[in-house]
Amino acid sequence: MTAEKKCLECGDKISGRIDKKFCSDQCRISYNNRLNSDNTNLVRNINNTLRKNRRILLELNTTGKTKVARQKLLDKGFDFHYFTGIYTTKEGALYHYCYEQGYLQTDKDWFLLVVRQDKK
Per-residue pLDDT of 34-86, as tens digits, reads 887 767 788 889 999 999 999 999 999 999 999 999 999 999 999 999 999 99
Asked if residue 101 lies in contact with residue 113, where contact means CB atoms within 8 angstroms, the answer is: yes
Of the candidates 111, 54, 110, 104, the residue with the CA atom closest to the CA atom of residue 83: 54
- Indicate whether 1 pLDDT > 60: no
- Indicate whether 94 pLDDT > 90: yes
DSSP letter (8 states) at residue 3: P
- Indicate whether 120 pLDDT > 60: no
Angle at 24 between CA 21 and CA 27, to 5 degrees: 75
d(CA 55, CA 63): 15
Backbone angles phi, psi at 97, to 5 degrees: -125, 140
Of the candidates 106, 101, 27, the residue with the CA atom closest to the CA atom of residue 114: 101
